[in-house]
Amino acid sequence: MILALAGGVGGAKLADGLYRALGPDTLAVVVNTADDFDLYGLRISPDADTVLYTLAGIANPATGWGLAGDTFETLAMLRRYGEDTWFQVGDHDFATHLLRTQRLREGWSMTRVLAAFTGALGVRARLLPMADEPVATMVATPDGELAFQDYFVRRRHSDTVRGVRFAGIEAARIPDAVRQAVRDASAIIFCPSNPIVSIGPILAVPGMRDLLRSTSAPKVAVSPIVGGRALKGPADTMLRDLGHEASPFAVVSLYHDLLTGIVIDHADAEQQARIALLGVRVLVTDTVMTSLADRIRLASEVAQFAAELRGDEGNV
Ligand code: FO1
């Protein structure tokens, strides 16, 4: 079984490649839940839903989030009431949020909700939240601290980032299903998601870094930074704002105590030697995923690289 750690759209794409390359029942994905928030009384879990819809083959191909072919009549009606509908929730997408909210109110955990949703949509990968307790990413900017979706969607991630914190993280616990998945994993893949606000919260759950270090399974990251730029979203400017380089080397530095290997793009091949000095093995390949074939090819190469690293550790 392969375990992937994923955030938003980039993470979902690689998770999808792994799902299709490895076959059903061999993949577990731990998703960031610190982007989750409440809107119109509903609990929204953007990263979990992005992975869910992508693996189910029903994600909107244009945005990567939301549902293919969705309509927006509910938002249109909300606008007639004078609401500022800055967050685009589609009519079908609303059903997911309604049911999740209902289930959580009935006392279900997020772990149970996601298991039910994957089962209902025919997804034969395990989709696990990083924690069942609510955690909220807060972004410090020159205009004050912003809730994550305010920063990301409402203000189009245009603010300078002075700091990031994960409210509620001290009370978050690693779900038993995540502990089991880490124990069962023959490799752990850090998807090409934002290292600060997508993978960062997962690693910030108390005990998570120790748990990941406790397994001898190889841990391989795929860099979300290619040629100094984020493939999607603000990871590059966020890294620079927080005093890092926007480079695969910086990604390795952030995961320094965890990684066995990193997959970087040909555009960054010159960083190979510098990364190798940190004791991390490097695979250079094409990492930009524009088609389904790209996802499957990259996922196969990543899985093969991890298998080689397992061999290196004499632990096949
Ligand atoms: N991202 C946007 O940039 N604009 C939106 O209006 C938006 C709506 C949305 C609705 C449901 C959902 O599951 C995700 C949605 N996202 C939207 C994506 C999401 O908020 C971000 O990509 C993630 O939080 C960052 O990983």
Instruction: List, in sequence order, every beta strand (DSSP E) within the chain.
Output: 2-6, 27-31, 37-39, 42-44, 126-129, 136-141, 144-147, 163-167, 187-190, 219-222, 225-226, 229-230, 261-265, 281-285
194 and 164, same structural domain?
A: no
Ligand 1 pocket, 35 CB below 6 A?
A: yes
pLDDT at position 311 is 78
Ligand 1 pocket, 66 CB below 6 A?
A: yes
**DSSP helix/strand/coil, 286:** coil
196 and 77, same structural domain?
A: yes
Integer Cα distance of 147 and 137 in angstroms: 7
CA 19–ligand 1 middle distance (angstroms): 22
280 and 159, same structural domain?
A: no
Of the candidates 197, 207, 266, 189, the residue with the CA atom closest to the CA atom of residue 14: 189
Q: Best substitution site from 65, 87, 138, 157 to test ligand 1's pocket, by max atoms within 8 Å of Cβ?
A: 65
Tens of pLDDT, residue by residue over 208-247, are 999 999 999 999 999 999 999 998 899 999 999 999 999 9
162 and 246, same structural domain?
A: no
CA 44–ligand 1 middle distance (angstroms): 10
> Among 154, 169, 184, where does a domain finish?
169
Using CA atoms, how far residue 309 sits from 80, 107, 159, 250, 282, in Å, is 57, 42, 40, 21, 10
CA 45–ligand 1 middle distance (angstroms): 9
**pTM strictly above 0.85:** yes
257 and 164, same structural domain?
A: no
pLDDT at position 316 is 32
Angle, vertex CA 257, rays to CA 252 and CA 262, nearest 5: 35
125 and 193, same structural domain?
A: yes
Of the candidates 173, 205, 164, the residue with the CA atom closest to the CA atom of residue 5: 205
Q: How many domains does the chain have?
A: 2
pLDDT at position 1 is 95
Looking from the CA of residue 194, the nearest atom of ligand 1 is 26
pLDDT at position 315 is 38
Ligand 1 pocket, 254 CB below 6 A?
A: no
CA 228–ligand 1 middle distance (angstroms): 24
250 and 282, same structural domain?
A: yes
144 and 251, same structural domain?
A: no
| Mean pLDDT, the chain, whole residue set | 96
Tens of pLDDT, residue by residue over 99-112, are 999 999 999 999 99
pLDDT at 313 over 80: no
Ligand 1 pocket, 65 CB below 6 A?
A: yes
- Residue 179 tokens read as 């502990």
203 and 306, same structural domain?
A: yes
CA 87–ligand 1 middle distance (angstroms): 7
As a whole-number percent, the residues of the chain with pLDDT over 90 amount to 96
CATH number of 18's domain:
3.40.50.10680
CA 208–ligand 1 middle distance (angstroms): 26
pLDDT at position 312 is 59
Angle, vertex CA 114, rays to CA 290 and CA 134, nearest 5: 100
pLDDT at 314 over 50: no
Domain range for 185 is 2-134+170-314
276 and 142, same structural domain?
A: no
Specify the residue with its C-alpha closest to ligand 1, atom 14.
46
Q: What is the mean pLDDT of residues 116-138?
A: 98
Ligand 1 pocket, 147 CB below 6 A?
A: no
36 and 22, same structural domain?
A: yes
Ligand 1 pocket, 46 CB below 6 A?
A: yes
58 and 202, same structural domain?
A: yes
CA 64–ligand 1 middle distance (angstroms): 9
pLDDT at 297 over 80: yes
Ligand 1 pocket, 85 CB below 6 A?
A: no
